Every structure is written in structure tokens, then in C-alpha cells.
Amino acid sequence: GTDGIVTLRAEVDASAKVTSARIQVGEHEATLTLDGTSLHGELRVPTPDRWWPHTHGVPRLHACQVVIETESGPCVFPLEPVGFRQLERRDEPGFALHINGEPVYCRGACWTTSDIFTLSGSEHSLRHDLCLARDAGMNMIRIGGTMIYESDAFYRLCDELGILVWQDFMFANMDYPVEDAGFAENITTEAKQQLDRLALHPCLVVYCGSS
């Protein structure tokens, strides 16, 4: 429906002597379940302000944190801001994206790197380059399969600035020995690691197997 859903899974230090824990998103909170050292739970936020690409609205992000009560007092752990958005792929008249029910005409460029010497770039240089892209009217950046997976700071900035990301996996321009069991297992591991890392970013709207 119109609820925003935040799911959390975490491991806590057994020596912390946790008595209870809760997750907070804005003014909303929910109690988390503690099973041994495993902490998990779900929070529903009714009709939250949604995250939009900057060409269609405000890229709204909500502060998120976990509060853990221990025998020695409470501990607060700030988490990544949360963005709520609905994403749909349509095939008529061709491949198309709808964000929060609205069709989005995607326009932008392929991203190479903010710093050719480090293949990453500082947060300052990333912000400079991505702000130029936003101010030029771009609402999508594609990270090509011939490059590298970008830093966490890159995706955080795209969340903040309302820039959609088309993410290629780093497989391109060669024949891969996919029938080799060991290599195929590496591919699966790489995909899972990147999906787990990037799933929390509302800017991520397309994953592509290669370039």
C-alpha cells in the first residue's frame, strides 16, 4: 500500500548485555527482537514523504537510527538515511521506468571516475561533479561494466541529489568461463555482495548484467 517499510537485521556483541532495542525513522519507532546476538525487526511508516528524482520532486530522505538499551545505559547508532519510493518497469511502448507511479524520462551520461589516479575520488570531488550533472538537468548516471563499483559516498550523494543510477555489473568486453564452477561461484558471490551493499539506496533503479 502506501506504507514505507524498513527491515533491519544486525548482530550485537554478546558482552554488551542488551536488554531491549528499537529502530527509529523520523517520529516513528518499532521494537526489535533479540535472539541471542541477532537483532531483527520491521518498522512501518504510514504514508511517508517519498523520494523522487530531482526532476520530478524532492529526493526526501528520513533520518534512521537504532537505540539499544544495555545494563549500563542506552546506546544510539545512527544508520544510513532512508528513502521511500515505488519503482515499476514498464514495457510499453518500450523499456520505461515509473517512480511513484509517474513515468520518468531518463536523461544523463555514463560515469567514468571523479579521479583517474585513485579511481574513486574524494567526497568533495564527487559532490562537485554530481552537482554539475544535476544542474545540467541529468537525472540518471550509468556506471558502465568497463569501470569499477563506485564508493559508498557516491551512492549516498546520488540519494541526496535525486540522481537515478543505472548500475552495470563489472563484466564486459570478453568471454568469461561461466561454465567453470569456481568462476560461476565467484560471479554469484560478487552479485550478492553488491546487491546487499546497494539495496538500501533509493537512487538505484536498474541493475544490468554487463555493459
Backbone angles phi, psi at 38, to 5 degrees: -95, 130
Kindly give the pairing relationship between strand 64-70 and strand 73-78: antiparallel
Q: Among residues of the chain, what percentage have pLDDT more than 70?
A: 100
Is residue 105's pLDDT more than 90?
Answer: yes
Beta bridge partners of 78: 65
Q: Is the pLDDT of residue 162 over 90?
A: yes
Give ∠ CA 161-167-173 in degrees, rounded to 5: 140
92 pLDDT above the threshold of 90: no
109 pLDDT exceeds 90? Answer: yes
**Average pLDDT of the residues of the chain:** 94
At residue 78 the predicted structure's pLDDT band, cuts being 50, 70 and 90, is very high
As a whole number of angstroms, the distance between CA 193 and CA 197 comes to 6
Q: What is the mean pLDDT of residues 35-47?
A: 94
Please say whether the beta carbons of 154 and 147 come within 8 A: no
- pTM above threshold 0.85: yes
